[in-house]
Amino acid sequence: MGRARISPALGLNRPRGRAGLRLLAGLLLGAATCGWAVNGVDWAEVSAGLTGASIGWLAVGLAGVVAVALAKAGRWRDLYPRPRPVFWPTFGVLVTAQMINLLIPVRTGELLRLGLMRGHGQPVAATLPTLLIEKVIDLLAAGLIAATLAGLTLTPGWLGPAGASALLLAAGLATGLALLGRLQQRLVPWLARWDWLANAAERGLAALALLANGRALARLLLWSGLIWLLSLLTMAAMLAAFHLQLPLTAAALLMLLVSLSNIAPSPPALVGLMQGAAVLALAPFGVAQATALGVGVALNVVTVLPLILIGGWAVLNGGLRRGGPAAAP
């Protein structure tokens, strides 16, 4: 894997006006959320909570963030049709894109993944469906979690309708993608009349065909279940670090709100949104505002710092493993 190169061809030179507006919206949203989270807080209590946090549990949280990134890379690799890309370069591309999304929050990470994977022998037509499937599966999981939590805990009133909407949207998208995959044998010959489109269509539809393969779909769902389970355990570790004995539903609600914070325009490193999510998620469980804010501050560091460090290493060293773009079976 050669040194990572970030070029205009990867889409980072998107129209400056639109990117600037998105960044401004993220900054304003982060500032507003942060202002709400810190309004009237006792900073002495926040400081006491942070200094009294368990280093051991914070380390478990850090390990959980890395484990989630590894699992996401494994799932992403399995979304490619055979021959699949090598794992470690794929992981390097993923964390590089995550780092860019955190530092420059104008959502160029997916475009970056398309460009970097093309440099590793995976055409855009093969990578694009993997990103679509990834988003649909995560949307479906988030909808299921939101709908479940809405019936179990004192959650925000909008969570139930939002979960139901996410489920309907994800189910519709998944059905459409699976249908395209099933029609692969019919569509590819029809598209072959356009030479420039035939190969791209074949690679793209082959990726979508995984949704119609029972064994491949089961593997994908296992990866997704592992990702969300690791995320849940990471949140539980963060709560334990602040000596909070709360039900697992509190960690699940915190996990869900943190994941939703990535959807809206966001400030750099999610500063403000992470603190607001922690205060909002923990308030129904009787956690004091100062303690919840401390959790949000620690969570911001624990979830962002590893991705920035590993992503920076990937950029400087061309990924976590050197080597060519050879594909694995």
Does 180 score more than 90 pLDDT?
Answer: no
92, 272 Cβ separation under 8 angstroms:
no
Q: Residue 8: what pLDDT?
A: 44
Share of the chain above pLDDT 70, in %: 77
Parallel, antiparallel, or unpaired for β 327-328 and 84-85? antiparallel
Q: What is the pTM of this model?
A: 0.83
> How is 192-220 classified by DSSP, letter by letter?
TTSHHHHHHHHHHHHHHGGGG-HHHHHHH
Name the more confident of 141 and 321. 141
Reply yes or no on whether the pLDDT at 192 is more than 70. no
What digits encode the pLDDT tens for the residues 14-41? Answer: 456 666 777 777 788 888 888 999 999 9
Tokens at 160, concatenated: 């139930």
Note the pLDDT tens digit of each residue in 127-159.
Answer: 988 998 898 889 888 888 888 888 776 667 767
> Pick from 314, 284, 266: which is nearest to 26 by CA?
266
Q: What is the pLDDT of residue 39?
A: 92
Half-sphere exposure of 314 (CA within 13 A, CB side): 23
Q: Which of 29-33, 129-133, 232-236, 253-257 has the highest mean pLDDT?
A: 232-236
Q: What are the structural domain ranges in the chain?
A: 8-119+216-328
What pLDDT does 52 receive? 97
Cα distance between residue 182 and residue 177, in whole Å: 9
pLDDT in the model for residue 17: 66
What local confidence, expressed as pLDDT, does residue 263 receive? 72
The whole-chain average pLDDT of the chain stands at 82
Compute the average pLDDT of residues 245-251: 94
